[in-house]
Amino acid sequence: MTGNRRVAIVTGSSKGIGAAIAMRLASDGFAVVVNYSSSAGPANDVVAAIEAHGGAAIAIRANVSESASVSLSFDGAREAFGGIDTVVNNAGIMQLSRIADTSDELWQKTLAINLTGTFNGMREAARRLRDGGRIINFSSSVVGLYQPSYAAYAATKSAIEAMTHIVAKELGSREITVNTVAPGPVGTDLFLYEKSDEQVANIAKMSPLGRIGEPNDIASVVSFLAGPDSSWINGQVIRANGGVV
């Protein structure tokens, strides 16, 4: 179906940073699997936008916290496009709470989606990627800020960084690189939720560049890591944050 076109799976790519990544990789020549967890509408919109620009994409529903669901999404990618070259483990949630107020439900949900979801994606990628492929994970620059209310979220992202370093060593013999992108504040619904304009302005001032990031800023970093010019970048965490930390 795709000839020599490379194939990428992008988890959580129906909106926000994930959607920007899916569309950027499609413009780079990838056939893209747009993963979503619940609402098909936004995912289909991303597919339509990619196809309108001459790209190839399909939407596949998968709950990243369930290994069987992730495995089926890889099956779908191979059936549609013949193989998989890049996996971007972008799906995640950020629900903030001080440790004393963090419920068991919130803790388990954060672990399931952010950490187990990334683990499932990495494990399936390690088994199925073609040699010379790319695994690109997502952490966050809050890992180094140690801010109140971020304990559960930052804990999952720190663990993702640790797995990145290890799996990069495990897959090096197949010339598969494993890296992590750790964005700073980015103007998405996830970040802007329940923040006032004043709060956003104050956060923007933390950056020497005087602004918060945009989804395309992060998509550009992923594009580099997924491309041929990044072949010597492996086991790294790239803090794409405009100099916030």
What integer pLDDT is reported at residue 3 of this predicted model? 60
Q: What are the domain boundaries of the chain?
A: 7-238
Average pLDDT over residues 214-241: 97
What's the pLDDT score for residue 114? Answer: 98
Residue 150 known to be catalytic = no
- pLDDT (0 to 100) of residue 46: 98
pLDDT category at 1 given cuts 50, 70, 90 is: very low
Instruction: List the structure tokens of 179.
Output: 């890296």
The percent of residues above 90 in pLDDT, for the chain, comes to 85
7-238 CATH, one of 3.40.630.10, 3.40.190.10, 3.40.50.720, 3.40.50.300: 3.40.50.720
Spot the catalytic one: 36, 150, 153, 193. 153
pLDDT above 60: residue 2: no
Higher pLDDT, 213 or 76: 76
Kindly report the pTM of this predicted structure: 0.95
Residues pairing with 186 in the sheet? 213
Residue 150: the pLDDT is 95
State the SS3 of the chain.
Answer: CCCCCCEEEECCCCCHHHHHHHHHHHHCCCEEEEEECCCHHHHHHHHHHHHHCCCCEEEEECCCCCHHHHHHHHHHHHHHHCCCCEEEECCCCCCCCCHHHCCHHHHHHHHHHHHHHHHHHHHHHHHHCCCCCEEEEECCHHHHCCCCCCHHHHHHHHHHHHHHHHHHHHHHHHCCEEEEECCCCECCHHHHCCCCHHHHHHHHCCCCCCCCECHHHHHHHHHHHHCHHHCCCCCCEECCCCCCC
pLDDT in tens, 105-147: 999 999 999 999 999 999 999 999 999 999 999 999 999 889 9
Q: pLDDT tens digits, residue range 46-73?
A: 999 999 999 999 999 999 999 999 999 9
